[in-house]
């Protein structure tokens, strides 16, 4: 691992670039001494594009609600050549944000990884976390279930974690699954936590791969906020969930009518 372009503030070292073999963490316009202004190390939440978009929905909502500031981004050869823009402004697809007030770091990746090629990236990001004395690392993931449909009942929230934080996480109705297998980028991050002095955990909720699950994302966000003591509002996500339910019902009705009335006409965007 190569560190370079360090800015020093007495005993505080803030790496502007933390580099692996094919990936790097770039910190911009930020003094990492702010991490030391809190009694406890920051909580690190990581959201990836996955089943039900649970990780990206939670991460985006936290960034907006907690008014987090972007402090850097992650580059990797494992990411496809995709660039994002919002309101005409180009954005790195894998960004890092920080809330000074609540001492929370959120890393959000809004593009899919190239299949099976994120080991170096996860190692680089977790080494950066270790370098900044982070302890708790939370990953978010939807559990693929094509039979799952949004309902009036709150979806279950499951969690698996290392022993050091398991008791803290398994509160407030969070369920410990008896066994299971994790795949993908989240698994790579958690494996790096297991190999280092990081307390890794993953929060999961059922999600249908065919559509986003803002309801499940809302419940996960609620649980994390209660465990780690920061404020959030669920109104926006629950409204999105209600809209999706309505659109799915309309789509089902439209499909039924199609069989008796002829070819299906263009239907408006399910997720609009």
| pLDDT tens-digit series, residues 156-179 | 999 999 988 998 888 888 999 888
Report how far residue 267's alpha carbon sits from residue 149's, in angstroms, rounded to the nearest whole number: 20
| pLDDT tens-digit series, residues 170-208 | 888 899 988 888 888 899 999 999 999 899 999 999 988
Q: Domains in the chain, ordered, with CATH?
A: 30-261 (3.40.50.10900)
Q: Taking residues 125-140, report their average pLDDT.
A: 94
What average pLDDT does the chain have?
A: 82
Report how far residue 3's alpha carbon sits from residue 43's, in angstroms, rounded to the nearest whole number: 23
Does residue 128 sit in helix, strand or coil?
helix
Between the two ends of the chain, the Cα-to-Cα distance in Å is: 44
The answer to whether residues 258 and 264 touch, using CB atoms and an 8 Å cutoff, is: yes
Q: Write down the pLDDT at residue 101.
A: 94
Q: Is the pTM of this model over 0.85?
A: no
Q: What is the β-pairing status of strands 84-86 and 89-91?
A: antiparallel
Question: Which token pair is 143?
Answer: 């559990």
The answer to whether residues 67 and 232 touch, using CB atoms and an 8 Å cutoff, is: no
Per DSSP, the residues of 178-227 read: S-----SHHHHHHHHHHTTT-EEEEEEEEE-TTS--HHHHHHHHHHHHHH
* Residue 46 confidence (pLDDT) above 90: yes
Confidence band (pLDDT; 50, 70, 90) for 264? very low
């Amino acid at each position: 691992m190569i560190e370079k372009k360090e800015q020093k503030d007495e005993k505080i070292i803030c790496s502007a670039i933390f580099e692996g073999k094919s990936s790097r963490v770039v910190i911009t316009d930020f003094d990492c001494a702010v991490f030391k202004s809190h009694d406890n190390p920051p909580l690190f939440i990581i959201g990836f594009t996955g089943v039900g978009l649970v990780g990206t929905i939670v991460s985006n909502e936290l960034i907006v609600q907690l008014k987090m500031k972007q402090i850097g981004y992650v580059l990797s050869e494992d990411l496809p050549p995709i660039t994002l823009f919002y309101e005409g402004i180009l954005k790195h697809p894998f960004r890092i944000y920080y809330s000074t007030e609540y001492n929370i770091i959120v890393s959000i990746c809004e593009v899919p990884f190239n299949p099976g090629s994120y080991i170096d990236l996860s190692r680089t990001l977790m080494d950066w976390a270790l370098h900044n004395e982070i302890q708790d690392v939370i990953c978010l993931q939807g559990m693929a279930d094509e039979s799952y449909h949004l309902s009036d009942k709150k979806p279950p929230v499951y969690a698996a974690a290392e022993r050091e934080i398991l008791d803290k996480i398994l509160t407030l109705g969070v369920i410990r699954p008896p066994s299971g297998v994790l795949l993908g980028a989240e698994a790579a991050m958690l494996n790096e936590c297991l190999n280092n002095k990081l307390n890794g955990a993953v929060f999961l909720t059922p999600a249908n791969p065919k559509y986003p699950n803002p309801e499940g994302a809302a419940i996960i966000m609620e649980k994390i906020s209660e465990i780690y003591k920061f404020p959030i509002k669920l109104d926006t996500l629950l409204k999105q969930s209600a809209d999706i339910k309505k659109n799915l019902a309309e789509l089902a009705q439209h499909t039924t009518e199609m069989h008796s009335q002829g070819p299906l006409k263009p239907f408006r965007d399910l997720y609009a």
